[in-house]
């Protein structure tokens, strides 16, 4: 992976880590529901909530990358960073 020297503020990282921690906790709860033979419909509802939370985290990361990292890459004429982001988006979609 190309290191284009990007920097994320501690505040942004903390918010994202907290969001991911909540997702992990929620997913652990879903695992517990499966282990405890809880109703499949309830499990599916919870998995849908996890999926939505993951998609939300993905949007936060994409938006931060565009508004910070990609702007700096363009300013620095870092075409490699731009190409890597394009490839990542293609895999994401």
Tell whether 3 is covered by a domain: no
Domain holding 20, by residue range, is 10-92
Burial of residue 92 (number of CB atoms within 10 Å: 0-12, 13-18, 19+): exposed
Spatial contact of 74 and 18, defined as CB atoms under 8 Å apart: no
Angle between helices 79-92 and 40-64 (to 10 degrees): 160
Q: pLDDT tens digits, residue range 60-77?
A: 999 888 888 888 888 888
* Residue 54 belongs to domain with CATH number: 1.20.58.1000
How many separate domains does the chain show? 1
Given the structure tokens 């419909």, which residue do they identify?
Answer: 41
Q: pLDDT tens digits, residue range 15-33?
A: 999 999 999 999 999 999 9
Answer yes or no: pTM beyond 0.95. no
């Amino acid at each position: 992976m190309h290191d284009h020297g990007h920097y994320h503020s501690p505040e942004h990282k903390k918010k994202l880590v907290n969001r991911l921690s909540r997702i992990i906790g929620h997913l652990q709860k879903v695992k517990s529901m499966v282990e405890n033979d809880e109703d499949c419909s309830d499990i599916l509802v919870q998995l849908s909530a996890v999926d939505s939370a993951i998609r939300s985290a993905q949007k936060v990361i994409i938006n931060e990358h565009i508004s910070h990292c990609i702007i700096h890459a363009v300013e620095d004429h870092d075409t490699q960073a731009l190409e890597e982001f394009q490839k990542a988006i293609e895999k994401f979609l």
